[in-house]
Amino acid sequence: MTARVSPYLSFPGNARPAMRFYQSVFGGNLEITTVGALQGATGTAQDELIAHATLRGATGVVLMASDRTPGDDGAGGSSSITLGGDEADLATYFERLSSHGTVTVPFARSPWGALYGRCTDRFGTDWLVNVTASATP
């Protein structure tokens, strides 16, 4: 049996631009279903909220998301998404994710030998990027 973990992000009404941003970072295919398409149009602004979105990035990254609807307080605590591996593309991902966001740990050589950085993107998602030591020059 194979199990996969995919982050499911919750946004306060800006899931569409957030997921398009992540698509610009990771490439791949983005599928979006609105509340109106899923539940039937009501003629209100809620119709355009994202009921579910899935991004299948070009290198295997999978992110899912939705907008919080009225009454959904988004409770569930804080979390971070870790990108790891031995791909040079991870440095580019860090650069794109941190653009217009906040770098909390600059992308540089870590004490454990890997290239590592941490940032919060413009949509408030916390990212940790770690390029394994064996792949770094």
- Please name the residues in contact with 7: beta carbons below 8 A apart, sequence gap of 6 or more: 63, 64, 79, 81
User: Taking the domains of the chain in order of start, what are their residue ranges?
Assistant: 8-67, 80-135
Q: What radius of gyration do the chain's Cα atoms show?
A: 17
- The reply to whether domains 8-67 and 80-135 share a CATH topology is yes
Q: CA of 92: how far to CAs of 4, 7, 17, 26, in Å? A: 24, 20, 20, 10
pLDDT digits (tens, 9 = 90+) for 46-104: 899 999 999 999 989 999 999 987 666 655 556 789 898 877 789 899 999 999 999 99
CATH class for domain 8-67? alpha beta
Question: What whole-number distance in Å separates Cα of residue 28 and Cα of residue 57?
Answer: 4
Question: What whole-number distance in Å separates Cα of residue 7 and Cα of residue 128?
Answer: 13
Q: Name the pTM for this structure.
A: 0.83
Superfamily of domain 80-135: 2,3-Dihydroxybiphenyl 1,2-Dioxygenase, domain 1 (3.10.180.10)
